[in-house]
Amino acid sequence: MNNLFFDATKEVFSLMLDLDNISYDQETLHTMLNDNESIGIKIGIVGDYKGSISYIFSKEAMLEMVKIMSGMDVSEVDDFVKSAVSEVANIISGKAMTSLSENEIVCDILPPVIYIGETVNDGCRNKSSCSFIKTDIGNIELDMELQKNK
């Protein structure tokens, strides 16, 4: 399942941000947990699977994403940046759900929830559910907590 979200991230970043140098590392548990400038976006998932996927974006990655998408030079993580990054996480999650549906697995996503600073500590608790994505604009952690519905 981690590969599904990595593939969706890679495709969305290629199309929206013109980024192609993206690597995936599930072996190394890198963490931005002590970085009070990181933002977590949690997307709930319901259907044949239930749970959530959390995207933890470094400040560097967020600001560069918004610069590429809007053409504006931003230096602080404000409401505009949070909204833009939430939408990117939403698009990635939607793309992953579309891929699942192609395999007759029906899931839907819930609206994103933003968490900041200390509450980012909730992310990547379990190494087996956590992945690290490296890009030219910064780093992203993915923390998946999904279970098959009975």
Query: pLDDT tens, 113-125?
Result: 998 765 554 555 5
Q: Write down the pLDDT at residue 24.
A: 75
Q: Write down the pLDDT at residue 119.
A: 54
pTM, entire model: 0.86
- Average pLDDT on 141-148 reads 88
If you count them, how many residues does the chain have? Answer: 150
d(CA 59, CA 43): 19
Q: Write down the pLDDT at residue 33.
A: 46
Name the token pair of 66.
């918004």
Cα–Cα nearest to 133, from 21, 14, 15: 21
Give the start-to-end residue ranges of the domains of the chain.
2-148
pLDDT band at 89 (very low <50, low <70, confident <90, very high): very high
Q: Write down the pLDDT at residue 92.
A: 95
pLDDT band at 69 (very low <50, low <70, confident <90, very high): very high
Which CA distances in Å does 78 have to 1, 20, 63, 66, 132? 32, 27, 10, 11, 24
CATH architecture of 2-148: 3-Layer(aba) Sandwich (3.40)
- Average pLDDT on 62-88 reads 93
**DSSP secondary-structure letter at 126?**
S
